[in-house]
Amino acid sequence: MTTDEHGLAMTGASAAAARHYDRAIHELLHFRAEVDAEATAALADSPGFPMGNVLAAYLDLLTTEAADARSARTRFDAFRRQADESSLLPRERAHLAAVQALLDGDLTACGALLAEITVAHPRDALALATGHQIDFFTGDARSLRDRVGGALTAWHDDDRHYGHLLGMYAFGLEEAGHYDRSEEVGLRAVELNRRDVWGIHAVVHTYEMQGRFGEGVRYLDARLDDWSTGTFFNVHTWWHYALYALETGDTSRALGVYDAALAGGRTSMELLDAAALLWRLLLEGSDQPGRWRALADAWPPLVAEPFYAFNDVHAVMAYVGAGRIGEAEKLVASREAYALESRPGVTNVAMTSRVGLPVCRALVAYGRGDFGAVVDLLYPIRHRVNEFGGSHAQRDAVQKTLLEAALRGGRHEVARALVSERIGVRPCSPFNWLKQAALADALGDRATAAAARRRATTLTTTA
């Protein structure tokens, strides 16, 4: 019997396979593509290696793409048919159950099983990393914070992956609203490992949530070589960079980032970042027909069947942005039929019914100029949009759509409340003050509009 580098026993692995597994976990925590080669090498050496098969399944399932999930099912079913599960260690059997829950579409059960593993084995880096992503996919801020927080005292400063845990913990703290603590922990994570892109990402989120866009740009600029290449996460971090540019009204800079880093994406994770950026520009009146067309062309194979509502919403953004309302409506109709099917335990059904469909319908209504319908669809669900996953920063596209529809549709009372909420939380955001100015213009209050614009200008120039 072998052990992984964190001291956890593993069956069915040669010494070489165990080292490949360790290297795979190391690459996974760095979000580097080399994780696939190391995982493959582990199974090539020891095909029946349980944790190697578990790792391979998680890697496919975490892409949130149906085709990868089918591949994972085929390989994992073949492994289980030949495995003697009664001879496996309890931790290994627990991972098999977690993978099976994920294959069955039950993200909640998978997350709970991984949490049990973490309580019993807090140094199981794979359980922590996978559980962290499940919490992200389900928008569970409390678990994003406490899953890792509950394991931290079992780790030590000299563990080479301790910093990565701090990076995960920082993100959970940010999503749970603990911004000061998140910044402190995130900065420490990056101090321990300057190429911890998830830790860098956590700090960036903290600045985003506080409207500290100037600090965010400077932080990313100072660490450009550490996050901008060599990982499959660099596109998402560039997206954050573009959000900072949009906060200052620098559309040309945001589009430069889009063309250099986001355009031409092929995975769901890349395409949704592209759609989310272009949608924010659309809300501000910046049409990008050529960019929208190319993006809309890339989505159909990835949403041909229901799998993850968060992806569906971004595909609809692309279709609406490209003026393909018919394609957007067709996708909505397919998800309406899906939501009516009996699929016990499939988390995505509830995500689709409770959040995905109302948001998709609202996006289509926005494309048609029916702003009253957008408000009617989004206002009732605005405090539970987290249920279909993503981060606060990502879901803000939905909140901004609601606000812009309220302004354009003359729902001034709703718009006033929404703007007031935003200013209260992020008073240093130029965007929020510009929306205050737009509302004041609509109400004929020139003095308030002028004051709000001066405030936005001051914040932009002094950031």
- pLDDT tens digits, 269-283: 999 999 999 999 999
- pLDDT tens digits, 294-310: 999 999 999 999 999 99
- pLDDT tens digits, 41-95: 999 999 999 999 999 999 999 999 999 999 999 999 999 999 999 999 999 999 9
Confidence (pLDDT) at 96: 98
CA gap 413, 58 in Å, rounded: 46
Residues 303/344, Cβ–Cβ less than 8 Å: no
Q: Determine the 3-state secondary structure of 409 from DSSP.
A: coil
Of 144-148, 249-253, 366-370, where does mean pLDDT reach its minimum? 249-253
pLDDT at 174 exceeding the cut of 90: yes
CA gap 63, 58 in Å, rounded: 9
Which whole number is the average pLDDT over 20-33? 97
Residues 448/417, Cβ–Cβ less than 8 Å: no
Complete DSSP assignment for 9-71: EESS--HHHHHHHHHHHHHHHTT-THHHHHHHHHHHH-TT-HHHHHHHHHHHHTT--HHHHHH
pLDDT at 14 exceeding the cut of 90: yes
Residue corresponding to tokens 């450009």? 224
pLDDT at 1 exceeding the cut of 90: no
Q: What is the mean pLDDT of the chain?
A: 97
DSSP bridge partners of 10: 2
pLDDT at 40 exceeding the cut of 90: yes
Q: Determine the 3-state secondary structure of 284 from DSSP.
A: coil
- pLDDT tens digits, 199-237: 999 999 999 999 999 999 999 999 999 999 999 999 999
**Nearest-10 Cα torsion for 348, 349, 351, 352:** 110
What one-character DSSP code corresponds to residue 3?
Answer: E
Residue percentage of the chain with pLDDT more than 90: 99
The residue among 247, 301, 254 whose CA lies nearest residue 274 is 254
Q: What burial class does residue 67 get, using C-beta atoms within 10 Å of its C-beta: 0-12 exposed, 13-18 middle, 19+ buried?
A: middle
Which whole number is the average pLDDT over 16-27? 98
DSSP bridge partners of 58: none
The pLDDT-based confidence of 463 (bands split at 50, 70, 90) is confident
The pLDDT-based confidence of 389 (bands split at 50, 70, 90) is very high
